């Protein structure tokens, strides 16, 4: 079984959303982890927009990347430029991937406009996670 780490700055939004979708699309064929260079807690709006799409991430926790030093990862996916630049070295045959998604936690506007930005970024991450799982996990 493959071990996949999704890494972001604070492990609050983008990596949590990717974690939820990768679990869904991998259908039990991979162990999915998410972590941050820092920990900011799981953003309630990320939980909300995932629930709207039928994915429950309410039990997820915000974890620091150092907690997973002993896991042998097959894939590490960074979902923001900061995490990509600060990503620690992982020993072994680890394939690294990077996609810089906008940070929904920085959304501005009315509450409805902020939630719409969360949904747009969620949908971008959903597409990426589906394609990743299809190409690297479900082969």
Active-site annotation holds for 8: yes
Q: Which of 80, 105, 125, 129 is catalytic?
A: 80
Provide the Cα torsion 111, 112, 118, 119; round to 10°.
160
Q: Which of 24, 86, 87, 94 is catalytic?
A: 87
Active-site annotation holds for 13: no
Distance between CA 95 and CA 107 in Å, rounded?
A: 31
Active-site annotation holds for 80: yes
Q: Which of 4, 6, 8, 121 is catalytic?
A: 8
Contact 126, 22 (CB under 8 A): no
Best CA proximity match to 32, nearest among 64, 70, 66, 74: 74
Distance between CA 9 and CA 79 in Å, rounded?
A: 9
Best CA proximity match to 7, nearest among 105, 90, 127: 90
Distance between CA 47 and CA 43 in Å, rounded?
A: 7
**Could you list the active site residues?**
8, 80, 87
């Amino acid at each position: 079984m493959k071990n996949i780490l999704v890494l972001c700055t604070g492990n609050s939004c983008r990596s949590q959303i990717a974690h939820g979708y990768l679990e869904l699309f991998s259908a039990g064929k991979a162990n999915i982890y998410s972590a941050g260079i820092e920990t900011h807690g799981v953003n309630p709006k990320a939980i909300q927009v995932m629930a709207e799409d039928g994915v429950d991430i309410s039990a997820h926790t915000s974890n620091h990347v150092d907690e997973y030093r002993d896991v042998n990862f097959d894939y590490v996916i960074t979902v923001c430029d900061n995490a990509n630049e600060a990503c620690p070295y992982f020993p072994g045959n680890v394939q690294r991937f990077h996609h810089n998604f906008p940070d929904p936690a920085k959304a501005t506007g009315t509450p409805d406009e902020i939630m719409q930005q969360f949904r747009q970024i969620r949908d971008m991450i959903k597409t990426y996670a589906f394609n990743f799982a299809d190409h690297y996990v479900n082969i």
